[in-house]
Amino acid sequence: MEHLSDKELLDVIRQRLEAKDRAYGDLRELTARLEDLNTKLVESERVKSSFLSNIRNEINNPLTAVLTMAEILASGDEVPDYGTLKTIAALIHKEAFSLNFQLRNIFAAAELEAGEATPSFSGADIDSIIKDVASSFRHRAQERNVAVDLDIPERFSLNPFRTDAEKVHRVVSNLLSNAIEFSPEGASVSLKAIEEDGCLCISVRDSGPGIDPERHETIFERFRQLDSGAAKKHLGHGLGLSIVKATVDLLGGRISVDSQCGKGALFTVLIPEADAAASAGALCTDGAEFFMPAEAERF
């Protein structure tokens, strides 16, 4: 240093100060990233805890109800009359359906998360699939006094559409379950299917509370629900719409939502028809191997 001129010394000092400023800038950026990561981890833990709490209730409650009613039937000294038996059987079916539905959703989410879900294309009977879904949720619609209006062109009852029947069943089940769950008593839900430019177009409209446009993206994230905590009014644990989106993506399609607060919601799914070589002449009439999920998450 003793051999440096004043100008050279000032240049060295300036360079070192600039290097220190850059180091401080890098440190601030790293600190901001760490703070952002920590915020996300805290939020992840909160969401996970909320999910575990919700799923515990939604599995335990129907399971407990089924066990209790089965015990009543098994331990009764007298055989209940037909009306009582029918009522108990209906309650058992309702709770078992709910339990099966939630578990199927969890299994589907795990399969999608692990990357193990693959399409299995066949000539799918869209008419039968949609009617099967509507029939499966009839008891829930009646319980909430919600009418389900179907609009399915004759084309789908005459000609199969090449796609994965099980996954279409999963998508429709989740969307219909949500629509029924969020519709007010006495309202109606419309479920429509058409063929549009070589794609299967399925739309489900409800007259529920609607969704803030700012939430249109986040509702498709796992474990996200419009209501939660003490304010939670609807069933579900926040998997349904994330499963719908992931399944539609898997089939090469897309999903959109048209909704505003207080004006209901319209979910529209477009699924392209699979290549004929992929379906190999197979025919799936109803895709009813599953009772698919749904959680009212808007769900």
Instruction: Assess whether pLDDT exceeds 90 at residue 106.
Output: no
Tally of residues, the chain: 299
212-225 as b/e: b if 16+ CB within 10 A: eeebeeebbebbbb
207 assigned to some structural domain: yes
Q: 296 lies in a domain?
A: no
What is the total count of domains within the chain?
1
* Residue 152 belongs to some domain of the structure: yes
Q: Which percentage of the chain shows pLDDT scores above 90? A: 33
**In-domain check, residue 93:** no
User: What is the reported pLDDT for 180?
Assistant: 94
Question: At residue 203, what are phi and psi to the nearest 5 degrees?
Answer: -125, 140
Nearest to 102 by CA among 228, 236, 290: 236
pLDDT digits (tens, 9 = 90+) for 139-150: 999 999 999 999
Residue whose C-alpha is closest to residue 206's, from 186, 230, 226, 236: 186
d(CA 185, CA 194): 28
Q: Average per-residue pLDDT in the chain?
A: 81
Neighbours of 147 (CB within 10 A): 13
Q: What is the DSSP letter of 229?
A: G
The verdict on residue 68 lying in a domain is no
- Bridge partners of 162? 123
* CATH code for the domain in which residue 213 is found: 3.30.565.10
Q: Give the ranges where the chain is alpha helix by DSSP (H).
A: 6-75, 82-113, 126-136, 138-143, 155-158, 165-182, 240-250, 276-279
User: What residue has token string 């509507």?
Assistant: 134
What is the domain range of residue 170? 122-284
User: What is the band of 289 on the pLDDT scale with cuts at 50, 70, 90?
Assistant: very low
- Please tell me the least confidently modeled range out of 87-96, 143-152, 233-242, 251-260: 233-242
What's the first-to-final CA gap in the chain, in angstroms? 70
Band (pLDDT 50/70/90 cuts) for residue 291 is very low
pLDDT in the model for residue 227: 53
pLDDT of residue 277: 63
In a domain, 36, yes or no: no
Which residues are bridge partners to 42 per DSSP?
A: none
pLDDT tens per residue, range 54-78: 677 778 888 888 888 888 888 766 7
Confirm whether 58 is domain-assigned. no
Question: For 2-53, what is each residue's pLDDT tens digit?
Answer: 576 777 777 778 888 888 888 888 888 888 888 888 877 776 666 666 666 6
- Best CA proximity match to 93, nearest among 138, 49, 127: 138
Q: Read off the pLDDT band of 235 (50, 70, 90).
A: low
Q: What is the pLDDT of residues 75-85, one digit of tens each?
A: 766 777 888 88
**Nearest residue to 165 via CA among 194, 127, 116:** 127
Tens digits of residue pLDDT in 172-209: 999 999 999 999 998 999 999 999 888 999 999 998 88
pTM of the model: 0.72
Q: What is the pLDDT of residue 268?
A: 96
Residue pair 211/265 in contact by the 8 Å Cβ criterion? yes
Tell me if 279 is assigned to some domain.
yes
Over range 210-237, report the average pLDDT: 67
Task: Give just the sign of the alpha carbon dihedral 91, 94, 98, 104.
Answer: positive
Which residue carries 């993206």 as its tokens? 217
Q: If 0-12 CB within 10 Å is exposed, 13-18 middle and 19+ buried, where does residue 242 land? A: buried
